[in-house]
Structures are given as C-alpha cells and as structure tokens.
Amino acid sequence: MTSAAATSSFPGLIRKIFVRVGVLPFFLLGALVVFTLLSPKFLTGQNLVNVMRQSVYLVLVSLGQMLVLIAAGLSNKEIAERCYLSINSVKTFIRAAYRKTGVRRRVEAVTWVHEQGLKGTSDSPHRAPPAA
C-alpha cells in the first residue's frame, strides 16, 4: 500500500467509525484528554465518580428524548438526522429505552410516553409536535 493510498483511505476509515459508533465516544475521549491536560486533579477517584454520575444522567435524558421522538411519529432515520446521531446509536438508545420502560414495540413506547406525560419543550428542536 502506498502512502497516498493510506492517506486517501484514512478519512474514509474515520467516517466509517463515526457512522458505526456515533460521535459521542469521540467527544468523551476528547473531553477526557483536554480536561486531564487542564487540571491534574481531573483523574482523581472522586472526580471520576462524579463524571460517571453525570454521564448516567445524560444517558437517561437521551433515552427519554428517543421515546418522545418515537411518540412524535419519527422513524429511526429521522431521529438520527434530527439528533445528529448514527442510525446505530439511535437503535442502541431505543433498545435501552425499551428495556428501561419494559416495552417491546414502538406502539407500546408511544403509549408509555403518553401515560408518563412526557413532552418536548417549545424551544427544543427535539420536541414532539403540538397536539391537534
């Protein structure tokens, strides 16, 4: 393999990785590196526990977001485009949301969302459309 061929395939490889796993792991890794360089105390045990706790909250919000978008009638592809995620990331979030809520199908998820009273906010691009 020539160096020109390796160079031209590198962006393609990066793109394939982004599409496959999504952007979030790269943002988390980048944040870890930057914050470690900015503060030597970043990698302490107590701080890592706090970071993990915050990550759990973000995941729970993402699961709720997926459920609201499903209830709005969006397809997985539309959710991926709207949230700037890969389709595989959307599917992973939806499967996790189904496990957490105990639903097995999309129609059950919509019913669960309505029973819980979940709605998007008016200033959110990820909101459910207003009720007719």
Residue 88, burial from CB neighbour count under 10 angstroms (0-12, 13-18, 19+): middle
pLDDT of residue 32: 82
Q: What are the residues whose beta carbons fall under 8 Å from the beta carbon of 104, sequence distance 6 or more?
A: 98
**How do residues 36-91 score in pLDDT, each as one tens digit?**
899 878 878 888 888 788 888 888 888 888 899 999 899 999 999 988 889 998 99
Query: What residue ranges define each of the domains in the chain, with the CATH number in brackets?
Result: 3-116 (1.10.10.10)
Does residue 3 surpass a pLDDT of 60?
Answer: no
Quote the pLDDT of residue 8.
Answer: 63
pTM of the model: 0.55
23: DSSP letter: S
CA 107 and chain centroid, separation = 21
What does the pLDDT look like over 17-29, one tens digit per residue?
A: 777 777 778 888 8
DSSP 8-state secondary structure symbol assigned to residue 9: H
